[in-house]
């Protein structure tokens, strides 16, 4: 019996086909969804391959398929739309957001969502926040904007994703849950966003019943237990988001 990696890991599994099959073995390549009572692997097409653990003859752990910059931008747009701030304004490709002072950093920071966004807008961004009596801050998802190597991040979050196409799409009897929003990305993908890692697979089923095919949750890297909780439900790292406090040049 192989030592299985954590759920959500991309794997290649060779397993035995039913007696008399030609060829006698085949491979399943994709993300590991479950190891009991049966092995379940979701391929890149979204199909789920299921087979018995006793039929496994070889296992390889693979690196994840590289996430394209456009995919990061699409998901960041979904997250911004799903969890809007009280006040928002576009500036040179940046979405500037201001919420309550005690709200999450994601609604009190500017994020470069358009391909036209660049660092030249940072002084104007800082002025926008200072006019509102707020700490100027930017949120920089991986690869959307270069960060100087000397710049220290104020906070780092992991944006974790999972596939929902294999979930039981039966809407739970408990009604619509709090802390979950469903919205569409520019590329047509319907995402379910969770404010915190789902407490049970039933919440993922609810999202699937709403037509969502993928789910996401954002967790600070200072919360390793929450990250492990999400990974146990099949979430995996998509990208990171770094928050940078801008210097207050008014002093």
pLDDT value, residue 205: 86
Distance separating alpha carbons of residues 124 and 138, to the nearest angstrom: 12
| Coil vs helix vs strand at 219 | strand
pLDDT value, residue 249: 57
pLDDT tens readout for residues 133-170: 999 999 999 999 998 777 889 999 999 998 886 666 66
Distance separating alpha carbons of residues 94 and 115, to the nearest angstrom: 9
Distance separating alpha carbons of residues 120 and 122, to the nearest angstrom: 6
Burial of 249: CB neighbours in 10 Å, binned 0-12, 13-18, 19+: exposed
pLDDT value, residue 172: 56
pLDDT tens readout for residues 182-196: 999 988 999 999 999
Contact 162, 236 (CB under 8 A): yes
Arch. (CATH architecture) of 66-251: 3-Layer(aba) Sandwich (3.40)
pLDDT value, residue 5: 86
Segments of the chain with pLDDT less than 50: 251
pLDDT value, residue 145: 93
pLDDT value, residue 189: 92
Distance separating alpha carbons of residues 193 and 214, to the nearest angstrom: 9
* Domains of the chain, residue spans: 10-61, 66-251
Query: What is the secondary structure of 166-194 as a DSSP string?
Result: TS--PPPTT-SPTTEEEEE-TTS-EEEEE
The residue behind tokens 């739309």 is 81
Q: Whole-model pTM? A: 0.77
């Amino acid at each position: 019996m192989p030592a299985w990696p954590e759920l959500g890991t991309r794997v290649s599994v060779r397993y035995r086909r039913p007696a008399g099959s030609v060829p006698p073995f085949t491979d399943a390549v994709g993300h590991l969804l479950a190891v009991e009572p049966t092995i379940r692997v979701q391929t890149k097409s979204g199909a789920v391959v299921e087979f018995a653990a006793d039929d496994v003859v070889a296992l390889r752990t693979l690196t994840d398929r590289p996430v394209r910059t456009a995919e990061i931008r699409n998901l960041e747009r979904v997250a911004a739309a799903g969890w809007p701030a009280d006040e928002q304004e576009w500036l040179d490709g940046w979405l500037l957001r201001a919420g309550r002072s005690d709200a999450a950093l994601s609604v009190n920071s500017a994020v470069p969502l358009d391909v036209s966004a660049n660092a030249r807008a940072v002084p104007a961004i800082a002025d926008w926040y200072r006019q509102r009596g707020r700490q100027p801050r930017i949120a920089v998802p991986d690869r959307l904007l270069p960060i100087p190597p000397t710049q220290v991040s104020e906070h780092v979050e992991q944006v974790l994703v999972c596939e929902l196409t294999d979930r039981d799409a039966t809407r739970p009897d408990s009604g619509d849950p709090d802390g979950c929003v469903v919205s569409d990305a520019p590329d047509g993908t319907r995402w379910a966003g969770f404010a915190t890692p789902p407490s049970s697979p039933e919440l993922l089923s609810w999202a699937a019943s709403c037509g969502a095919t993928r789910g996401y949750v954002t967790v600070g890297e200072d919360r390793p237990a929450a990250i492990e909780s999400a990974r146990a439900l099949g979430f995996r790292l998509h990208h990171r988001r770094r928050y940078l406090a801008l210097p207050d040049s008014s002093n």
